[in-house]
Structure 1
Amino acid sequence: MAKETLIQHNAADYNVAVQTIKDAILRSQYQAAKLVNREMLSLYYGIGRYISSNSREGFWGTGAIRTISERLRKELPGLKGFSESSLKNMRMFYEEWSPVLEASYSTSSISPIMIGEIETTLLLSSKSTITIDNLELFGNLSFTHHIRILNGEKDVNKRWKYIRLCLENKWDTRYLQQQIKDNAADKYGAMPSNFGVTIKDSRDAIKALNMFKDEYLLDFINTEEIGIRDIQDIDERVVEKEIIHNIKKFIMTFGRDFAFVGNQYHFEAFSEDFFPDLLFFNRELNCLVVVELKTGNFKPGYLGQLMTYLRILDDKVKKPHENPSIGIVLCKNANKDFVEYVIQDYAKPMGVATYRLSEDMPEKLREALPDVEELKKLL
């Protein structure tokens, strides 16, 4: 018996030891990966500065960058990432970020900060929103992501926002490019809501505000494929059905850390039955999120309906360790100023977002897109 207890005790100790060492290895690998990325960014920034100073000032002739790239490949066989276009991207990387990252120390009382070997200072310009956190994020994003952002967005504040969104949501470069085209930087944090007055912890309120966009493109809902000729004829149940059918795509569109709980989720209060359209749980916010779908313009009565759902969810469904539930009205059109005006009197955290379908895109843009059937044949 004593021997059996000892074996169990040793097994428990081994489990703890394995988990401890495993966590340490994973943390070390993560830190090493971050350091490698920062070192690469530092290298590319330095090369970009060198190429910029020589090519822009006229020291090098036409075709110099191509020649240098070819010579590098000959002298370092197997070298990747230093093609002519890559070297030009490094130059752009330096030229676009150097006015933001570099400043003379004499004009600022803030000490220089190191990103790899890049020595930078924080600018005190009203045109930029640089913080130590931003600089930390800057060094964690891949060079390819940086180039996508620099090519797609010119506003420095939006560039910082895309850097943060990429890292928080783990966007790949293709998805990042689509988000830039959709101007997502202006949409995250822009949804009219009452989070600021209904969520007690200001950090949680900011998290909630940054979790949702003010408009979503539900381009996976094709009214022609589901037999609806007039987009005005589409109703909530059709939208809901298509969302459920494409739930993975909807969650990817909606945001990060969402888990689908159910649609037409049934709960009861005082012998009354209720069926909210869509119910999710968000791990980051640690709360239930109910989404009510509306195909027309926003109406104040939608908030009253949502308020009822949230009260019952918090009383009957929410777990003790979870935060209060959040409600989102997802409708076709909404006057933001009007929503902000009426939503503040409600005691539960709610917001109103709008959505677009593929049919809402400009006709010229839709005509430029390949036909679905042609794509299927190609695939």
Structure 2
Amino acid sequence: MLINQSIIPDIKAIIANAQDKAIRAVDTERTLMYWNIGKRIFEEEQQGKDRAEYGEYLTKYIAQQLEPDYGSGYSKRQIELFRQFYRTFPIANALRSQLSWTQYKTLIRLDNQDQRQFYIAEAVKNNWTTRQLERQINSSLYERLLLSNDKESVLAVAKNEKLPSDAKEIIKDPMYLEFMGLKREASYYEKDLEQAIITHLQDFLLEIGNGFSFVARQKRIHIEGDEFFVDLVFYNRLLQCFVIIEIKTTKLTHQDIGQLQMYVNYYDRIEKLPTENSTIGILLCADKNDAVVKFTLPENAKNIIASQYKLYLPTEQQLLEEVNKELEKREDSYFTNEKN
């Protein structure tokens, strides 16, 4: 008797789907339970005459009463987290069922409300795991996007209130590739970095931005008898266009920009469908001179982006310095335009 061989994979998929839904349902109820505990603690705390002192006493007392029966999940530290959870997210209906308690614990530590809203929207939209959410926060994704965009635009794209109209709204500069495990002190050939990207493709897709899918590696193109190889080709469904990435492990030169522009022109004229938008080229480089990039490209050019890569996550001080440098650049540009 012949049996359809797809029945077992189908049943396994049904089981896995049901198990996933059950786990999510349990975690949603657990999150609501912690929120309600936090609310009750907050309400009780408001009745104390000296709130700071009473609040400290209250969380300690509750932990002493609950921990013996319910375990370390109700320690003083955890009780304080429940209270902070409610104070940070005071509206129960605003809680997102797609987010787990561990993700909310990560979000609680963010002080800036816009920053929290951004990471909530991105985590829900991209179905991030807790590890992915923590990695994006630790790599300062929000701040990096703010370096080349305004706050309103960054939040609007994250919340799906608008589609990105410019590649810079989703492509970051710099890009942090610490997940590849390469030592920053060492020198690498371009093929080494390319191979590391392919090996860690899922993490790389998460880093370069929303809506990317992998198309080809070392894509061969022929132009009137000459043969060329494009390092990496992606497609972005949000921008509705091909995205070509050329890797340069040395400082960027104007010749590199010219080469990438040729590849972009080829894709626009040969590969692109009439319904698709113009191809975007990204030069992923170890170092760059922004002035060289600016003067090599036509004014207001948007289809070539130079993004520096770094093999380690920034410290808060490094990030602050980058933000301040960008703000100074914008101020100088503003005053220059005013004079003109």
Both proteins in one fold, TM over 0.5:
yes
Confirm or deny that 1:49 pairs with 2:42. Answer: yes
Compared with structure 1, are the counterparts of its residues 38 and 96 closer, same or farther at alpha carbon in structure 2 (3 Å cutoff)? closer
Paired position in structure 2 for 1:222: 182
Alignment partner of 2:278: what SS?
A: coil
Task: For residue 38 of structure 1, report the CA deviation from its aligned partner.
Answer: 8.9
* 1:238-281 C-alpha deviation (Å, 9 max, x unpaired): 22233234333433433344322222101223333331111112
Question: Partner amino acid for 2:39?
Answer: G
* 1:1-379 to 2 correspondences below 5 Å: 43=36, 46-47=39-40, 49-50=42-43, 52-54=45-47, 57=51, 60=54, 63-69=57-63, 71=65, 82-96=74-88, 115-116=91-92, 141-151=99-109, 153-188=110-145, 190=147, 203-206=162-165, 208-219=167-178, 220-222=180-182, 231=186, 233-336=187-290, 339=293, 343=297, 345=299, 349-358=303-312
Residue type matched to 1:307 in 2?
Answer: Q
Shift of 1:42: 5.8
Cα distance change of structure 1 residues 320 and 58 upon mapping to structure 2, 3 Å threshold: closer
Identity of aligned residues (%): 26
2:242 and 2:272 in contact (8 A); partners too:
yes
Q: Aligned pairs, how many?
A: 284
Structure 2 unmatched ranges of 5 or more = 1-17, 154-160, 316-340
SS at match of 2:134: helix
Give TM-score scaled by structure 2 length: 0.65
Q: Distance between the aligned counterparts of 1:41 and 1:343, measured in 2?
A: 54
Name the Cα RMSD after superposition: 4.2
Q: 1:147 and 1:361, CA in 2 relative to 1: closer, same or farther beyond 3 A?
A: closer
Cα distance in 1 for residues equivalent to 2:272 and 2:301: 17
Shift in CA distance, 207/142, structure 1 to aligned 2, threshold 3 Å? farther
Distance 1:338 1:137, change over 3 A: farther
Does the residue aligned with 1:324 lie in a helix, a strand or coil? coil
- 1:14 alignment counterpart: none
Structure 2 letter corresponding to 1:65: T
- 1:298–1:168 Cα change, 3 Å: farther
Counterpart of 1:18 in structure 2 is none
Gaps of 5+ in 1: 1-25, 99-114, 118-135, 197-201, 225-229, 363-379
CA drift at 1:292 = 0.8
Q: Distance in 2 between matches of 1:254 and 1:313?
A: 20
